[in-house]
Chain A
Amino acid sequence: MISARSADQVFVALDHWIVGHVPAPFQTLASIVIAVAMIIVVFAALFALTTVFERKGLGRMQNRYGPNRVGPWGTFQPLADAVKSLTKEDVVPHRADHVVHYLAPLVLVGVVFLSYAVLPVGRNMIAVDLDTGVLYFFAVGAATELAVFMAGWSSHNKYSLLGAMRAIAQMISYEIPLILSSVAVIMIAGTLSTVKIVEEQARYTAGIAHWNVITPWGLAGFILFMIAATAETNRSPFDLPEGESEIIAGYFIEYSGFKFALFFLAEYIEMFAVSGLAITLFLGGWSSPVSFLAWIPSWLWFFGKLLAMIFGFIWVRGTMPRLRMDQLMNFAWKFMLPMTLIVILSAGIWRFLSPAVVGPRPLGGVIRWLVCALVIFAPYILLARKLERGHSMEKRTYRFAE
C-alpha cells in the first residue's frame, strides 16, 4: 500500500524535492516555473503523440496504412513534421496586416495553454487551485475567439475572413450549451473549484465511484458537453470553419511554416483541455471507477481517460460527415440549448429527491434515478418529434453517386 501511495505522489514528491534545493527567496518562482514547464512539455508531447495516433487511426478506419515511412510503423512522423515546419519558409501576404498577422497564433497558443492551470491531472497535481476554477476555464477560453478573428482578418483573404466569421459564430453559439451543461455539475457539487468537484466524485458506495456520468443528468450533460466541445474545438463533424473542400483551411489559410504548426498545436491543445474539463466534471477526474482499482496512480487514470477521449474524437472524425451551416445553427439553438436547460432542471430535481424524500438506499436510489431520467427523456422525445416535423427521414438516393 505504501508503494502505491508513493507511486501516486511521485511527481509531487519530485516537485517538492527540486523546490527544496532552490534558495529560499526563489522557491515560489521555482514551483511556478516547474508547473508551467510541466504543462507545456507534457501536453505538447501528447500533441505529437496524438498526431501520429490520429493519422494511424483514421488510416485504419479508411482502409489504408497511414504514415509508415519514418521510424518503426511511422512513429517518428511527428519529429519529421516538426523539422519540416521549422525549416519551411514563412510566407506572409504582401497586403496582410503584419503585426496582427504575427500576433494571432501567439495569442491563440498562449490563451489555450492558460486553461490548463485549473485542470487537476492527479491527486494534488494542479497548477492553481482556484475557488473559481470552472469560471476561469471558460473566461480564458473566451479570448480564443478574438485570436481567431485576428488571424482571419489580418490575412486579407476572403476565405480566411469567411472562415473566421464561421468559426466565431460557431464558437459563440456552442459556448452557451457548453457552459450550461457544466452548470448542472456545479449545482450538485456546490462549488466552482475543480479540485473539490473531483473530490466530490472520488467517494465510493459499494465499491462504485460517485461519478457524475452515472446519474441521468450527468449522462445527458456529458453527451451534450461533448457535442458542444467538439463544435467549440472545430473538430469534425463541426469543422466548417476550416472545411478544406469549401474554404481551403479557413482562418489560417495564409499561414505557413511554424505559424501554421502553432495553429495546429493550439487546436489540439484546446481539444485536450476541454476533454480534461469533461473528465473533471463528469468522469471523476483522477479517481478510479471502482474502489479496488484505486491503487493505480491517479495521474495514470487521468491520462488514460484523456487518451480514451482523444480516441473518441478520432473515431467521430473518421465516421461523421460535415454539417451544413444552417444545420449547425439550428442544432445549437433549437436542440442543444433547450436540452441543457432540461438537464439543469433534472439536476435540481435530483438534488431535492434526497434519500429522506424517496426512501432508503437501494429502492429510493432507483426511484430517484428513474424520475430524473424521465424528466430528461420525455422532453427529449417531444423536442425531437417537433424538430423532425417537415423533414422526410427516408433513405436518400443520389443520381450520380450510386
Chain B
Amino acid sequence: MGMTVSFLILAILTLAGGVAAMTLRRLVHCALALAVSFAGLAALYVNLGAEFAGLAQLLVYVGAIAILIVFAILLTHSSETELQKVFSPAGIAGALLALAVFAVLAWAVVSSGAAHSAASVAAPQTSMREIGFALMQRYVLPLEVIALMLTAAMIGAVILAVRPTSGSEPAETQAPRNPELRA
C-alpha cells in the first residue's frame, strides 16, 4: 500500500516534469522541468530498491547534465522558442519517433519475462559492496575502457577550448595583472 502511494506520487511528479519540459515556452523553464523529471526518476529508482542507480542518476543528471543544458541555453541566446502548430511536419516526425522508441522499449519489457514474474518475486537486495566487487572484478575491463574514453574526451575538449596563442608561454603569465600593484 505504502509502496503504491509513493510510486504514484513519484510517477506523477516525473510525468508532470516531462510534460512541462515539452510544453513550456521558455527554454530555461523547460530545462528546469526536465531536471524535476530526472529527480523524480532517481526517486523512483530508490523507491524500487536500486539505491545506487538512483543516487548515480541524481548525481549525473541533476548535478551535471541539467547544468550543462542550462549553460548551453544561456550561451546560445535563444531562450524563447516560436510557437509551432501541433500538426506540423516536425511534430508528426517527433510523434512517430516517440512511438517507435516506446514500441521498442515495450517490446523489450514484455519479452524479457520480468513483467510476468515481477509481481511475485521480491526485488533482489544488492548491496553497495556487491556492486563495487562487480565493477572491480567482473566488469573491470569495460570500466577502464570507459575511463580511457572519458579522459580522451576531456583532453579533446581542453584542446578545442584553448585558444591558439602566439608564444608557448603558460597561461598564468597571460592572466591580466594590474601594473599599479607592482612597484
Using CB atoms and an 8 Å cutoff, list the residues of chain A in contact with chain B.
97, 100, 130-132, 135-136, 138-140, 142-143, 145-146, 149-150, 153, 168, 172, 175, 190-193, 324, 326, 330, 390-391, 396-400
Interface residue? B74 (CB, 8 A) = yes
CA distance A326 to B172 in the complex (A): 8
Expressed in whole angstroms, the Cα–Cα distance for A399 and B183 within the complex equals 6
Asked whether A138 lies within 8 Å of B67 as measured between CB atoms, the reply is: no
The distance in angstroms between the C-alpha atoms of A390 and B172, with both chains bound, is: 9
* Interface residue SS majority, chain B: helix
Q: Which 7 A-B pairs have the closest CB atoms?
A: A142-B63, A139-B58, A139-B55, A139-B59, A397-B183, A326-B175, A135-B55
Contacts A143-B63, A168-B71, A391-B172 aside, 11 further interface pairs with beta carbons under 8 A come to A132-B51, A135-B128, A143-B39, A145-B67, A146-B70, A153-B70, A153-B74, A172-B67, A191-B128, A193-B128, A390-B173
Which of A100, A168, A396 interacts with B32 by CB under 8 Å?
A: A100
CB-CB under 8 A from A399, the residues of chain B are 180, 183
Minimum C-beta distance from A171 to chain B (A) = 9
Cβ contact within 8 Å between A132 and B128? yes
The answer to whether B66 has its CB under 8 Å from any CB of chain A is yes
A398 / chain B contacts, CB cutoff of 8 Å: 181
Contact: B62 with A191, CB < 8 Å?
no
Once bound together, how far apart are the Cα atoms of A192 and B127, in whole Å? 10
Task: Flag if B172 contacts A140 (CB, 8 Å).
Answer: no
* Interface of chain B residues 56 through 103 with chain A (CB within 8 A): 56, 58-59, 62-64, 66-67, 70-71, 74
Beta-carbon contact of A142 and B58 below 8 Å = yes
Bound CA–CA A391/B183 (angstroms): 15
| Shortest Cβ distance from residue A124 to the other chain B in the assembled complex, whole angstroms | 21
The reply to whether A131 and B175 form a contact with Cβ atoms under 8 Å apart is: no
Contacts of A397 in B (CB 8 A): 183
User: Which residues on the B side are within 8 Å of A191 (C-beta)?
Assistant: 128-129
Contacts of A172 in B (CB 8 A): 64, 67
- Complex interface: chain A residues within 8 A of B167 (CB): none
A to B CB contacts below 8 Å, 10 in the list: A130-B51, A139-B58, A143-B58, A146-B67, A149-B70, A153-B70, A153-B74, A193-B128, A330-B172, A390-B170
